[in-house]
Amino acid sequence: MPVSEIDIRAVPFDSAVAQKLIRAALADLGARYGGSGDDTPVDVAEFVPPDGTFLVAYLDGEPVGCGGWRSHGAEGDTAELKRMYTAPDSRGRGVARTVLAAIERSALAHGRKRVILECGDKQPEAIAMYASAGYERIPNFGYYKDSPGCISFGRTL
């Protein structure tokens, strides 16, 4: 079976396609952790260049994954990864890795030198991917920094 090319497109965070994928991502997190999935405050404007961007991955013309970055901290050199997700039937096809690489390129192009992210201990696939992509554990930060099971990662670009 030939491997389909993954097409990455920047879209507004509040676009219909992004919101559909984000709802699926939150439902996945809710199933793993309970509640709404992620109560971190997020503002649409945080994902507008040059302060951030939001990307959607398409396989065979269908939206199957997403992720974005927003600025983090006062220095202006750090990007925080948010809303990484791949639809279950598209997992294992390189979607998340392709989105992650595109996020890193976008953040670097906008002057960011580092990417950080919060993850949870009930996401072993994500933890393995971030580790294999060169991310290392960092002190917890953000909305869930004091929550049991929170794991934070960072990588210098």
CATH of 6-112, one of 3.40.50.2300, 3.40.630.30, 2.60.40.1220, 3.40.50.1260: 3.40.630.30
Q: Which residue has the tokens 């920047």?
A: 10
Listed residue (50, 39, 47) closest to 15, CA to CA = 47
26-28-32-34 Cα dihedral, nearest 10 degrees = 40
Q: What is the pLDDT of residue 1?
A: 39
Residue ranges of domains in the chain:
6-112
Model pLDDT for residues 8-64, shown as the tens digit of each residue: 999 999 999 999 999 999 999 999 998 888 888 889 999 999 999 999 999 999 999
Tokens of 70: 């927003």
The answer to whether residues 124 and 157 touch, using CB atoms and an 8 Å cutoff, is: no
Q: Please give the model's pTM, rounded to 2 decimal places.
A: 0.93
State the Cα–Cα distance between residues 22 and 140, nearest whole angstrom: 23
Within 13 Å and on the Cβ side, how many CA atoms surround 122?
Answer: 11
Q: What is the pLDDT of residue 3?
A: 54
| Average pLDDT rounded to a whole number, residues 65-93 | 95
DSSP conformational letter for 33: H
Strand stretches in the chain, DSSP E: 6-10, 52-59, 62-72, 78-86, 114-120, 136-138, 150-156
Model pLDDT for residues 132-149, shown as the tens digit of each residue: 999 999 999 988 999 989
Listed residue (104, 115, 105, 99) closest to 9, CA to CA = 99
Average pLDDT, the chain: 94
